[in-house]
Chain A
Amino acid sequence: MADPQLLSNVRALVGREYGRVYAWDEVNAPMIRQWCEIMGVDNPLYTDPAQALATVHEGLIAPPAMLQVWTLEGFHANNYPQGSTAENPYEVLKLIEQYGYAAVVAVNSELSFTRPLRLGEKLYYTTRLESVGEEKTTGLGTGFFVTLVMSHFVEKPGGHDEAVGQLLFRVFKFRPAVRAAAAEAPTQAPATVKRPQPGISDDTRFFWEGCAQGQLLIQRCTTCATLRHPPAPVCIECHSFDWDTVAASGRGSLYSFVVMHYPVVAPFDHPNPIGLIELEEGVRLIAGLVGVERDQLQIGQRLQVEFQTFDEALTLPLFRLADE
């Protein structure tokens, strides 16, 4: 579920217009010729002045698909012509990222044209944050479709600038579905490593929703009252499919434990003590141990649950030594 604060911050930005980004050069024949050569375009309308003169255009025009080319930043990053805005039309992506949606993928790039461009015309564009969709989950992960529209204009004397085309650019800004770190590494290397998300099914969802509410819930068979953890769709004792939950007291004792040293795997601390905890209600669960030195640990110690939220997304029950 998306953070309400994030949603309200994002909504406040939708509709915002960002200032002009100017072209370095006016529309010119050498740039057109090179672009056509590289792209394998051989239409004489773009490169042969004599033939172009004989058409309805009465002269050379730029290939429409070059619309974006004229206002690119140049060879070096963020190198825009003087007078261009310093505003960042992608600020909404940075905002969303702060809430744990680290990854981005471009999904649409749609050009539309009002009229052809002629040699000597000078362009600029402005950007509008068109929309940010509801949180959606795709095969890639969970996040937001963000749509920006760049409107391109030709400068005219007296401020009568003329709209010549638009670029609709849509990205998916998302939190990746949990998958092999090795597979993620090439594209995700700069992102902070997060705790693995648990697989959650209809049989187990209540547990994680309980954690998010600060409750440690145990599944209970409503036919024979047997408690069970890990959760399951059916009672081991009577095979009833009917169940509800009870809130555990959060108190228990250390039934067994390990202290993880190697391999060191982000984002976990090492050494990392892990307990097998027997709750006073009788069921056991695995959980991280906090606030303890590794040589303090002893089987039988009294423990108390506490909840910690990681990456603003995952609330885990952890245990520390209980005050006796």
Chain B
Amino acid sequence: MSDSSISGRAAIVGLGATEFSKNSGRTELRLALEATLSALQDAGIDPSEVEGFSSYSVDKVPEYEMARLLGCKDVKFFSQVPHGGGAACGPVMHAAMAVATGVAKVVVVYRAMNERSWYRFGTGTYGFASTPIFENVNYGWYMPHGFHTPAAWVGMFAQRYMHTYGATSEDFGRVAVAVRDFAATNPNAFFYGKPITLEEHQASRWICEPLHLLDCCQESDGAVAMVITSAERARDLRQTPVMIKAGSQGIASGQQIMTSYYREDITGLPEMGVVARELYRQSGLGPEAFQTAVIYDHFTPFVLPQLEEFGFVERGGAKDFIRAGHHARGGKLPINTHGGQLGEAYIHGMNGVAEAVRQVRGTAVNQVPAVENVLVTAGTGVPTSGLILGAA
């Protein structure tokens, strides 16, 4: 590693969140402020010290209003990472870069949305207009056919993956059952106290074949925020520092948003492969280094190729890993111990980063023993991102 690497230079020192719900009953700005003030208090850092902000697209809370209301004085860094859930790890990476280069000493990352009560993503109506900007033209290949929901776009990849590797709907179901088991013991989860069986998964109605209802996360309202500062300062703060050991974004050849169907092969997630190689390069770690992982699970099928891209299993081997229960409670790599987006809430992946922080601190509700390193991934099917968080 060269001196310019961000690995180990910055740490997550504060964590805050609102409750997760289907109707928060208050503005997104308020949610963002509640989570941010809670994170700053958790860190023991005064709001006036914040010098940077990073969030990601679809979030409509502007950093300048956050800065104004927090009473920030000199804000020298702000970014908003594109592509919604695919960005989830990006703001933490951006914050680490800003801190490591000395541009900003304290950076807040946040994500606040009334996604369920104000927007909804799965309605099939998005209002792409006829102006010939790229996005309107691009979705013109899909919308006129009624091919218009995230579940459907994911399903098209999943069907080919099943065909190629022999994975089944039950394998997707085993992902859902395992995360719902974790959610059942997480009081902050939607599905606290509500585990499911594989039979219930199989009996749940079709959303879009090959996806059942229980393959899909639920849209949620809520906010999560974190405070990032230098590794040196982190040593003197009140919380156990959570080191940012690596961070990367990823776009691979043939990349589109949810519809990368024109690549030679569509059973992998090559953009996640880009992230994996860069995370391993920065950190010097490999797949054996993790005690637990947060694998983006807005829909179950994409969990499988992620395990393959990160080298936990060979290509096509995820189904066997899952059938053996290695991903579940007590397995060799328990994933999404907060209940995932399928079980805790769909906060566009930022709640997964929060779970990784708690696992490293040792404060997770479903704590895995002796956690050294946690892998976190972001949204799949879109330009994506990832992090390795770990103990100092």
Contacts and interface: CB of A to CB of B under 8 A. Distances in A.
Interface of A: 177-183, 195-204, 229-230, 255-263, 265, 268, 271-272, 274, 276, 283-288, 294, 299, 310, 314, 316
Greatest chain A CB density within 10 A among B129, B136, B137 is at: B137
Interface in B244-290: 259, 261-262, 266
Which of the four size classes fits the interface of chain B?
Answer: 35 or more
B146 A256 contact: no
A274 B141 CA distance: 12
Given A201-B137, A256-B156, A261-B209, A284 B145 contact: no
30 contacts: A182-B125, A183-B127, A195-B144, A196-B128, A196-B143, A197-B140, A199-B139, A199-B140, A200-B140, A202-B132, A255-B261, A258-B152, A258-B159, A259-B206, A260-B146, A260-B147, A261-B207, A262-B206, A263-B124, A271-B209, A272-B146, A276-B160, A276-B266, A283-B262, A286-B145, A286-B147, A287-B145, A288-B145, A288-B146, A316-B145
A3 B49 CA distance: 65
B213 to A, nearest CB: 8
A274 B160 contact: no
Contacts of A259: 206, 208-209
B120 to A, nearest CB: 10
Given A204-B137, A229-B262, A257-B159, A197 B144 contact: yes
Contacts of A180: 125-127
Given A259-B206, A288-B145, A177 B163 contact: no
B302 to A, nearest CB: 14
A184 to B, nearest CB: 9
Interface of B: 122-149, 152, 155-157, 159-160, 163, 205-210, 259, 261-262, 266
A199 B130 contact: yes
A260 B208 contact: yes
Given A201-B132, A256-B156, A179 B144 contact: no
A82 B209 CA distance: 62
Contact of A199 (B132, B149, B159): B132
B161 to A, nearest CB: 9
Contacts of A183: 127
A287 B144 CA distance: 9
A272 B151 CA distance: 13
Given A198-B144, A203-B137, A204-B140, 17 more contacts: A177-B130, A179-B127, A179-B129, A196-B128, A197-B130, A199-B140, A230-B138, A256-B157, A256-B160, A258-B159, A259-B208, A268-B146, A274-B152, A288-B146, A294-B209, A299-B163, A316-B145
